[in-house]
């Protein structure tokens, strides 16, 4: 008799067999098909199990607060600098080192280039400028 082995246990020498057209054999065949076919369909539908290419872009929300601190060194000494900021208290502390610059940008320009002009330039050369924004 041709049949399907449904269960066997070698230590107990137990074997359960059924015919090819029995309900147990059809249930075993159906469970075997359902074990392998749905995962393959999911893999085919989702274009594979592993991610091949991905991109994530995020655009930050930037709000300019119009606060700036400008320091230009005029020499190697600790008190040889010129300064200006948008903070009135800081400007009052600078006394004779305070220089109020003229900041301008061409109209219609989308580039962040800003032209800096010191209306009261010092007599010394300004080697370095530092922006703290």
Residue 40 three-state SS: helix
Q: State which residues form the domain around 113.
A: 69-132
* 26 within domain boundaries: yes
Domain tally for the chain? 2
49-81 residue pLDDT tens: 777 788 888 888 878 787 888 888 888 888 888
Give the dihedral of Cα atoms 118, 120, 125, 130; nearest 10 deg: -40
Q: Are 28 and 74 part of one and the same domain?
A: no
- Best CA proximity match to 18, nearest among 8, 31, 6: 6
* 64 within domain boundaries: no
* 27 within domain boundaries: yes
Q: Are 36 and 80 part of one and the same domain?
A: no
Give pTM, 2 decimals: 0.36
* 58 within domain boundaries: no
The radius of gyration computed from the CA coordinates of the chain, to the nearest angstrom, equals 40
14-42 residue pLDDT tens: 888 887 788 888 888 899 999 999 988 98
């Amino acid at each position: 008799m041709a049949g399907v082995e449904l269960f066997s246990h070698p230590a107990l020498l137990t074997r359960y067999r059924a015919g090819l057209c029995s309900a147990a054999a059809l249930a075993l065949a159906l469970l075997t098909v359902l074990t392998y076919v749905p995962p393959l369909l999911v893999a085919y539908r989702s274009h594979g199990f592993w991610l091949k290419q991905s991109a994530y872009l995020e655009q930050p929300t930037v709000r300019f607060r119009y606060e700036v601190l400008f320091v230009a060194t005029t020499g190697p000494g600790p008190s040889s600098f010129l300064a200006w900021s948008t903070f009135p208290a800081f400007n009052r502390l600078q006394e004779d080192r305070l220089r109020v610059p003229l900041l301008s940008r061409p109209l219609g320009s989308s580039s962040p280039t800003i032209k800096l002009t010191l209306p009261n330039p010092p007599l010394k050369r300004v080697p370095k400028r530092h922006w703290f924004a």
